[in-house]
Amino acid sequence: MKNILLISGLLITLFSCDLSSEQDYEAVAKDTCDCVSVFTEGLSPKMLEIMEASNGDEAKLQADMMAYVAENPEEGMKDIEALENETGMQEMEACMARLEEKYNSMYTTLSEEEIAEKIIEKLEGMEGCESTAVIMKLGVAAM
């Protein structure tokens, strides 16, 4: 769980960069989804479903994860291990650093929170990026 919160913080930091058009937001959303999928690819469909169902509500996410692990300890522990995978986290962090560099020179007058909301909106419309949108929502909630 702490890795999910760390990821959400990294994503919000990335989106302190400036963006100028809807296409820029779509590009950042796609690239972000690609980076986060490096981290989430080891998760079971059930864990991804739990993440998506939380809709960024940290308390719901924690409660549902605990219930899932209690009901299915073997698969649940594999998911917990995947969430705590340092290699996946390091790969994702490196990917996010490249994105920050890539999008650093764009411009907008929006606040960090407004930028994050626009990225979340784009992520929610992208197939396969639902868990990335949830992770972003957790970051926004923590702001």
Q: What DSSP assignment string belongs to 49-60?
A: HHHHHHTT-HHH
Asked if 94 contacts 1 with a C-beta cutoff of 8 angstroms, the reply is: no
Report the greatest alpha carbon distance in the chain. 48
What's residue 3's pLDDT?
52
Q: Which of 112, 89, 121 is nearest to 13 (CA)?
A: 112
Q: Encode pLDDT of 49-65 as tens digits.
A: 998 898 888 899 999 99
Quote the CA–CA distance of 136 and 139 in Å, as a whole number.
5
Ramachandran assignment for 56, one of left (phi > 0), alpha (psi -120 to 50 degrees), beta (any other): left
Q: Encode pLDDT of 103-133 as tens digits.
A: 776 666 777 788 788 888 999 989 989 888 8
Encoding tokens for residue 58? 């940290």
Q: Encode pLDDT of 69-110 as tens digits.
A: 999 999 999 998 988 888 888 888 888 888 888 877 666 677
Instruction: Please tell me which residue, 138 or 66, carries the higher pLDDT value.
Output: 66
